[in-house]
């Protein structure tokens, strides 16, 4: 996935944890889904990490570099 696609998914669907499900982080994806992105704070942290190129999938690969 391109970096722009990763940013858009995280921005628009991050509060529902969609970006976490896509990266294989199912457990925290469910938490994000039930808490609205950990009350918005976790969503914002994840968005910043995706923009900075530091957000990784469950295997440790940077997400949004393709």
Distance CA(19)–CA(53), nearest Å, equals 14
The pLDDT value given to residue 17: 94
Contact, 47 vs 7, CB < 8 A?
yes
What are the pLDDT digits (tens) for 14-52?
999 999 999 999 999 999 999 999 999 999 999 999 999
Look at residue 50 and give its three-state secondary structure: helix
The pLDDT value given to residue 64: 87
**Domain-by-domain residue ranges, the chain?**
3-52
Grade residue 9 by pLDDT with cuts at 50, 70 and 90: very high
């Amino acid at each position: 996935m391109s970096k722009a696609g990763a940013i858009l998914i995280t921005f628009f669907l991050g509060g529902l944890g969609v970006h976490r499900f896509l990266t294989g982080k199912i457990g925290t994806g469910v938490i994000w889904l039930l808490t609205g992105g950990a009350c918005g704070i976790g969503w914002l942290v994840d968005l910043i990490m995706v923009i900075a190129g530091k957000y990784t999938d469950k295997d440790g690969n940077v997400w949004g570099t393709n």
